[in-house]
Amino acid sequence: MIDGLNPSQERAATHDGGHCLVLAGAGTGKTRTIIARVAHLISTGTPAPRIVVITFTRRAAREIVERVQHQLGKMAEGLRASTFHAFCMTLLRRYGDAFGTKNATVIDPDDVNALFKLVRASLRDKSLPKAAEVVKVYSFARNVSVSIAEACARQELEVDVDAVITLCKAYEQRKKERGYLDYDDILHIVASALERDAKIRELVKRQIDELLVDEMQDSNPLQWRLLDQLRDPARLFCVGDDAQSIYRFRGADIRNILDFTARVPGASVLKLQDNYRSTQELLDLSNWLLDRSPIDYNKRLRATRGQGCKPVLREFWSDWDEADWVADDLQERYRGGAAWHDHMVLVRSAFGGRGIERALLAKEIPYRFIGGVKLLESAHVRDVLAVLRLVANHRDDLAWMRLLQLYPKIGEVTAERIANTFVTMDKLEACIADLRKRATALADAAKLLEAVRQGGDAPATVFKKAAQAMAPMLEIRYRNDAWDQRKRDFAVVEKLASKHDTISGFIEEYLLEPMTLSEVAKLDEDDAVSLITIHSSKGTEKPVCYMPGMNPGMYPHVRALHSEDEIEEERRVTYVAMTRAQDELILTRSVRAFSSEPEAEDAYFLSELPDGLVEIVVDENARGRDFRYSAW
Ligand code: ATP
Ligand code: MG
């Protein structure tokens, strides 16, 4: 008997047959079971380094490793848990020669956009579709493993398919010339090489006995291709919940779960029934939400914890009142002895969280924003990172373009012309020598690069030097755009960089799994409220959860109303959010923010709440106002 597992969880954790899928609802202990299985495998003789665990975020990966190491100590040394991207990146770096990616530079979505724009401009054809549109189709096609034409059709885009294909080809050509790897390449190159090349396949497979995947419902066809290549003799152990699939827009395909046994003959499917996270009243609401779906999710969550308090729905006049109340309520609970970190505020998007953020800041409530604008994606940090990228790879023309355009009188055309010459040079020093001979502004760029080069290639040193040298220039640039705040970020990035030995290792890690500034800054400071986007909240839980903005037009979002599939995805998003709460779930909405579209009201998930499922509280300010829904 394994401590802390119920009999079904234990059966799954110790499953000794072949491949296995654990399909179970929220909070039923899927992640706990994966952790227990890893510990079980190691303690029954599988060497830790031969186990690969794939999860959705770095946060989750770190937690799994820590828990197993806590249980097993030294025996668990060498255990790896990572995201699909980080796992593949490790392979690409370790076997760069075999994969042909030895000196490749990883680029993030912003760079991809920039490169598509450059390529589009170079084709000199104004009728070509907009770069931003093509980027989406291109990435979708690759994640879903379909042709560009099929991707255009599936995304219902009215574009000239041939033109899109031309642009994508030109982009791929340029990417190859420059040695760039975009986010999707990382998986694509590994999957294709494994499929094509028996030697590489054997090389990689030889090292893996067990392959465990959490949050399987959000994996996409490309990721499936990878797993498919890596299995046998390695055993797959995948856990997931089809009712929590919320990444369709990125190509996640629920068939990876639903067709599991057809694709993997002989695989076992195990179920877990009991929810250990929440009290029954909270689950009743989540169950009701799924019951109203045309899809039969076949999930009825049952609380092992029994009864608790009902979910509360609070109505306000405005979203300001709503945000202020959330902040007041948090403060009151804190004064009453609760810890900040027992609270989570779930929002649809970083933008949607702004109101709450304002209220938290005003009341000086410590919070950590998870899922917002990423630190290494913010403009001033990218400006400095351009220098680091050039030190790591002087053929990085996107980095050249970013850096050169910071200097006076250097526009896109000039920067591109210079970058195009630099990518043909054999060393950064040659580029610096060339810059030195040019106009004063560019001679300054040469000085900057020279200064940065002195003192070695350690990422933290290079970053610090670059940030210091660039500060006067950046100050002018961001003078009216929160420079004082931006300036402080540099110390944080430097601290992150100091944990890495190589520039490419540093940049890659944060490109693959970016962190928001407040996540980073508060790493050492545990007691903070989590302000989190629902898409980032998978797998997490907190005693008290707030869901502000529970209005018609938001749940489901008006943008989803044109398609049944999208409305269902919205339902799952709502379900994920509601099932995060352990003891209390507090939904809030404001009358003034109600969508005026009748379709939004018709589709509203809470439009026919049965009596007694939630407790409705109307704020004083909102009493007597025109509530379309206050009749309940
Ligand atoms: P999600 O679908 O949200 O990812 P999950 O199925 O992965 O949820 P876990 O996060 O593993 O569920 O577990 C939910 C909560 O229930 C955790 O706090 C976990 O520690 C607790 N739990 C799970 N199984 C048991 C058990 N057998 N005994 C006591 N607590 C349990
Ligand atoms: Mg989980």
Ligand nearest to the CA of 30: 1
Residues 421 and 456 in one domain: yes
pLDDT cut 90: percent of the chain above it:
65
Asked whether 218 lines ligand 1 (CB < 6 A), one says no
On whether the CB atoms of residues 53 and 38 are closer than 8 A, the answer is: yes
Examine the fold and report which residue of 272, 302, 337 is the final residue of a domain before the chain moves on.
272
Give 208's pLDDT tier (boundaries 50, 70, 90).
Answer: very high
Residues 382 and 471 in one domain: yes
Counted residue by residue, the chain has a size of: 632
Asked whether 539 lines ligand 1 (CB < 6 A), one says yes
430 within a domain of the structure (yes/no): yes
User: CA angle at residue 153 from 148 to 154, to 5 degrees?
Assistant: 95
Residue 632: pLDDT over 70: no
User: 484: domain CATH number?
Assistant: 1.10.486.10
In this prediction, residue 186 carries a pLDDT of 92
Adjacent-strand bridge partners of 80: 52
Least confident of 36-40, 97-101, 176-180, 586-590: 176-180
Give 630's pLDDT tier (boundaries 50, 70, 90).
Answer: very low
In this prediction, residue 631 carries a pLDDT of 37
Residue 504: pLDDT over 90: no
Distance from C-alpha of 383 to C-alpha of 114, rounded to nearest angstrom: 14
438 or 27, higher pLDDT: 27
On whether the CB atoms of residues 545 and 579 are closer than 8 A, the answer is: no
In this prediction, residue 375 carries a pLDDT of 65
627 within a domain of the structure (yes/no): no
Which contiguous run of DSSP H or E holds residue 107? strand 105-107
Residue 525: pLDDT over 60: no
Residue 616: pLDDT over 90: yes
In this prediction, residue 629 carries a pLDDT of 47
In this prediction, residue 512 carries a pLDDT of 66
Q: Which of 28, 273, 276, 574 has the most ligand 1 atoms within 8 A of CB, as the residue to mutate? A: 276
Examine the fold and report which residue of 515, 535, 552 is the final residue of a domain before the chain moves on.
515
Distances (CA, A) of 307 to 276, 311, 580, 609: 12, 12, 17, 20
Residues 13 and 46 in one domain: yes
SS3 state of residue 54: strand
Tell me the pLDDT tens digit for each residue of 344-370: 999 998 778 888 988 998 999 998 888
552 within a domain of the structure (yes/no): yes
Nearest-10 Cα torsion for 227, 228, 230, 234 = 100
Ligand nearest to the CA of 276: 1
Tell me the pLDDT tens digit for each residue of 373-430: 566 667 898 899 999 999 988 988 899 999 999 998 898 889 999 999 999 999 999 9
Contacts 24+ apart (CB under 8 A), 404-407: 404/442, 404/445, 406/470, 406/473, 406/474, 406/477, 407/441, 407/442, 407/444, 407/445, 407/473
Say how far residue 553 (Cα) sits from the centre of its chain. 24
Examine the fold and report which residue of 208, 237, 272 is the final residue of a domain before the chain moves on.
272
In this prediction, residue 143 carries a pLDDT of 83
Residues 56 and 204 in one domain: yes
- Domain housing 284: 280-372+524-622
99 within a domain of the structure (yes/no): no
Q: Residue 188: name the closest of 172, 202, 174 by CA.
A: 172
Asked whether 483 lines ligand 1 (CB < 6 A), one says no
Q: What is the mean pLDDT of residues 92-117?
A: 88
Distance from C-alpha of 393 to C-alpha of 314, rounded to nearest angstrom: 54
User: 362: domain CATH number?
Assistant: 3.40.50.300
Asked whether 241 lines ligand 1 (CB < 6 A), one says yes
Give 620's pLDDT tier (boundaries 50, 70, 90).
Answer: confident
Average pLDDT, the chain: 90
Least confident of 58-67, 132-141, 147-156, 590-599: 590-599
Q: Residue 529: name the closest of 511, 510, 512, 548 by CA.
A: 548
Adjacent-strand bridge partners of 530: 344, 368
186 within a domain of the structure (yes/no): no
In this prediction, residue 484 carries a pLDDT of 81
On whether the CB atoms of residues 123 and 166 are closer than 8 A, the answer is: yes
Distance from C-alpha of 400 to C-alpha of 403, rounded to nearest angstrom: 5
Per-residue tokens: 473: 């220039």
Distance from C-alpha of 32 to C-alpha of 302, rounded to nearest angstrom: 17
Residues 591 and 578 in one domain: yes
Q: What is the mean pLDDT of residues 220-224?
A: 94
Helices 84-94 and 183-196: crossing angle in degrees, nearest 10, is 60
Asked whether 580 lines ligand 1 (CB < 6 A), one says no
632 within a domain of the structure (yes/no): no
Q: Residue 489: name the closest of 464, 511, 507 by CA.
A: 464
Residues 450 and 559 in one domain: no
586 or 396, higher pLDDT: 586
Residue 518: pLDDT over 60: no
Residues 365 and 381 in one domain: no
Ligand nearest to the CA of 241: 1
Asked whether 9 lines ligand 1 (CB < 6 A), one says yes
Tell me the pLDDT tens digit for each residue of 27-52: 999 999 999 999 999 999 999 999 99
Give 497's pLDDT tier (boundaries 50, 70, 90).
Answer: confident
Q: What is the mean pLDDT of residues 98-116?
A: 87
Residue 573: pLDDT over 80: yes
What predicted TM-score, i.e. pTM, was given to this entire model? Answer: 0.85
CB atoms within 10 A of CB 327: 23
Tally of structural domains, the chain: 4
